[in-house]
Amino acid sequence: MSKDSNTVLIIEDEKDLLEKHSKIIESGGYFCIKFANGQKGLEYLSRNKGVIDIVVLDLFMNGLDGLDVLRAIKENPSKYGELPVIILTNIANEGIIREAFKYGASSYLLKNQIENGGLTEELAKYI
C-alpha cells in the first residue's frame, strides 16, 4: 500500500456504526481499516506506521476510550506517526470538546449532525 492510498483507520465500538461509517468512508474513495476497540487500533497503528493517513475515532468506548487513544497518538508520533485525528462521537459536551482539541484532535464531528457527504468532505480536508 502506498502513501497515496488514502487509508483511514476507524475505531468505533458500536458494530452497526462501525459498518455504517466505514461504508461512507469507502464510498468516498478511501481505503478503510476498522477496529472496534481502542487498544487493538493502537496496536495496529504502531505495527503499520506510515500506512495510515488519518484516524476517525469514537470517544466513549469500552476499555481504552477515545481520548486515551487520541492522547497516545499525539504524544508518541515516533511510534504512531504524525496523523490527523477526526473525532466522530455523539457527545456534544463543551468540556470534552475542549479536551479533545487540547490533546490534538484535528476535527470534532457529531454523528447525528453529519450527512453522508459530511464525513468524506472532512476527510478530504486532511488527506
- pLDDT attached to residue 114: 83
Torsion sign across C-alpha atoms 109, 48, 25, 35: negative
Give the CATH number of the domain where residue 81 resides. Answer: 3.40.50.2300
Q: Which domain holds residue 43?
A: 3-126
Amino acid at 3: K
The count of other CB atoms within 10 Å of the CB of residue 103 is 19
Radius of gyration of the chain (CA): 13
CA angle at residue 66 from 62 to 70, to 5 degrees? 150
What would the mean pLDDT of 38-42 be, rounded to a whole number?
96
The domain tally of the chain equals: 1
Which of 8-12, 21-25, 70-74 is least confident? 21-25
- Residue range 52-104, pLDDT digits in tens: 999 999 999 988 999 999 999 999 999 999 999 999 999 999 999 999 999 99
Question: Do 67 and 38 form a contact (C-beta atoms < 8 A)?
Answer: no
Place of cell 476510550: 65
Question: Do 110 and 92 form a contact (C-beta atoms < 8 A)?
Answer: yes
